[in-house]
Amino acid sequence: MLQLAEIFYSVQGEGMWTGTPAVFVRLAGCNLSCSFCDTDYALKFFAPVSDVVRRVREEGGACPLVILTGGEPLAQRETLALIDALRADGRRVHIESNGTLPTELPDDVWLTVSPKERLSPEMAGRANEAKLIVDGRVPEEWIGAFGETTPMFLQPEGNKPSNVALAVDAAKRDPGRLRLSLQTHKFIGVR
């Protein structure tokens, strides 16, 4: 049985896939407890894998993209079964992870890693994109942990102007490596 916080249909607001419609499956719980966390990942309901696949269909119809987020989606053992069931249902699966839990994922799963207090080298190596949160400082310590060709997004916490300025300055200093990623969904008032 999976532990879930919410399932909803929206648009990816961050990173490489910004603007792409997607069904979001927010799994409950996290193995970290970051002081700045503003995500409500509290447990709201339990559901078997088959019910989650059905809810994804009800919410998103033929939408091909499903984003598993959290909390930490890889902290639940049944998440791998959910990934397989969604792929079997014809969906593309993206995962947004803090990158702490080494997990073997199918090759066609897109992995976004946003490191916080620690990072698994396996997950850093597997990441399709990295998202670094800029909150009063640019977390330069994570940049070298990812492959040189891994797209790396600097995301200003809360879209705050001071964090945006830090991120823009850092991206301008290292234009071959860093890009700005704003939480665009917050500008247009969607989840």
Which residues in 172-191 contact ligand SF4 (CB under 6 A)? none
Residue 94 among the catalytic residues: no
3-state DSSP assignment of residue 164: helix
Q: How far is CA 27 from the centre of its chain?
A: 11
Does residue 73 bind ligand SF4 (CB under 6 A)? no
- Of 96, 92, 65, give the one whose Cα is nearest residue 183: 96
Nearer of residues 71 and 151 to ligand SF4, judged by Cβ: 71
Alpha-carbon span 110 to 56, nearest angstrom: 18
Does residue 99 bind ligand SF4 (CB under 6 A)? no
Alpha-carbon span 112 to 62, nearest angstrom: 23
Question: Interface mask (CB under 6 A) for ligand SF4, residues 6-35, using x and -?
Answer: ------------------------x-xxx-
Does residue 131 bind ligand SF4 (CB under 6 A)? no
Does residue 41 bind ligand SF4 (CB under 6 A)? yes
Residue 63 among the catalytic residues: no
Alpha-carbon span 56 to 18, nearest angstrom: 20
Catalytic residues: 24, 30, 34, 37-39, 96, 185
